Amino acid sequence: MNPFQLSIDELEKKARSIRRKIIRLNAGSPAGGHTGADLSQVEIVTALYFRILNCAPDRTADDDRDIYIQSKGHAAGGYYCCLAEAGYFSPDWLPTYQHNDSHLPGHPVRQKTPGVELNTGALGHGLPVAVGMALAAKRDGSAKKVFVLTGDGELAEGSNWEAALVAAHYQLDNLIVINDKNSLQLAGATQDIMKTDPLEDKWKAFGLNVTHCEGNDLSSVVNTLESLKAEGSPNVVIANTVKGAGVSFIAGRPEWHHRVPKGDEVERALKELEDV
C-alpha cells in the first residue's frame, strides 16, 4: 500500500510545496526547463505518490511494487520535485538540476535518479514500455499496477496507438494511462499544431476504458483513480489540466513550455504559492 495515504487537504499542501520547489528548481537551472509542463502535472503526481501508488523509497527493488512511468520526460523537473518531497532522494539535490554531473538531468534517467523507473524524453516511448511491463506482470501473476503519464502533444506519436492495440488485445487491466491534457505543446495549441481530439473516441476505438477528471483538482484526481475498475480492459484517464497551473502569469501561456522564471518572477510566483 502507499506509505503516506494523505487526505485531500494534506495532498493540497503537498502540491503547493511541490510547486514552490518547481519554481526554485527551474529558476536555478543553467539549461532552462519546462516550467509549464512541470506545473500542469502537479496534482496528478501528488495524488499518485502520496496516496495511490503501492511503492515507497525503501521498496524500489520490490518486484511487486507499482510502477510509475513519466512518459512526458521533458517535465522531469516537476517529477524530481515530487520524488524529493516523497523521500526518494534529498531535497538538497534539487539546486543541482541540469548542472554538470548532477543526479538530476534534463530528462529522467534511471541510472542517475532514485525512484525513476524508465529513461524518457523521446516522446511516445513511455506507453509502449508500460504495456510491456504490464504484460510481464500479468504473466508473472503479480498484482502490481503500471501507471504512465503522457502529454497530449505526445499522442501524435504513432507508437502510442500501437501500444494501445496491444494493451487492449491482452486485456491489460493492470495498466492505467493518465493523459495530462493541457492542450498546449511547444509554441501553441495542440489543436493547431497536431489535432488529436476527439481523444475519448480514439481511445475507445482502440479498446480502452476512458474516464475524465479535472487534473488540477485533487479531489477529482483521487476520486477518479480510486474508482477505476479492473474489468479486463486497460484504463485511460483524460486529465483536463492547465499548462502552468498554480501561477497566474504562467498558466495557459505557451511561451512557458520551455521557459524558466527569472528576476522578480520568482518571488511573484512564490508569493502566489504561499500556504493559505
CATH number for the domain including 73?
A: 3.40.50.970
Q: Are 123 and 91 in contact (CB under 8 A)?
A: no
- Domains contained in the chain, number: 1
Domain membership of residue 219 (yes or no) is yes
Domain membership of residue 154 (yes or no) is yes
Percent of the chain with pLDDT over 70: 100
Dist CA 161 CA 167 (whole Å): 10
CA atoms within 13 A on the CB side of 83: 28
* Cell 492542450 found at: 183
Domain span holding position 93: 8-272
Mean pLDDT of 168-193: 96
Question: How much is the pLDDT for 241?
Answer: 98
Give the other-Cβ count within 10 Å of 59's Cβ: 13
Rg of the chain over all Cα atoms, to the nearest angstrom? 17
Domain membership of residue 3 (yes or no) is no
Say if strands 184-185 and 188-189 run parallel, antiparallel, or are unpaired. Answer: antiparallel
Question: How much is the pLDDT for 230?
Answer: 79
pLDDT for 276 beyond 60: no
pTM: 0.98
Question: How much is the pLDDT for 192?
Answer: 96
Mean pLDDT of 97-115: 97
Q: Are 77 and 41 in contact (CB under 8 A)?
A: no
Cβ within 8 Å of residue 166, ≥6 positions away? 128, 131, 135
Domain membership of residue 46 (yes or no) is yes
For residue 207, the 8-state DSSP code is T
**Residue type, position 270, single letter:** L
Exposure string for 251-270, b = 16+ CB within 10 A, e = fewer: bbbbebbebbbeeebbebbb
Domain membership of residue 2 (yes or no) is no
Domain membership of residue 232 (yes or no) is yes
pLDDT tens track for 237-262: 999 999 999 999 999 999 999 999 99
Question: How much is the pLDDT for 138?
Answer: 97
Q: Are 216 and 228 in contact (CB under 8 A)?
A: no
pLDDT tens track for 32-80: 999 999 999 999 999 999 999 999 999 999 999 999 999 999 999 999 9
* Cell 494493451 found at: 167
Domain membership of residue 103 (yes or no) is yes
Domain membership of residue 1 (yes or no) is no
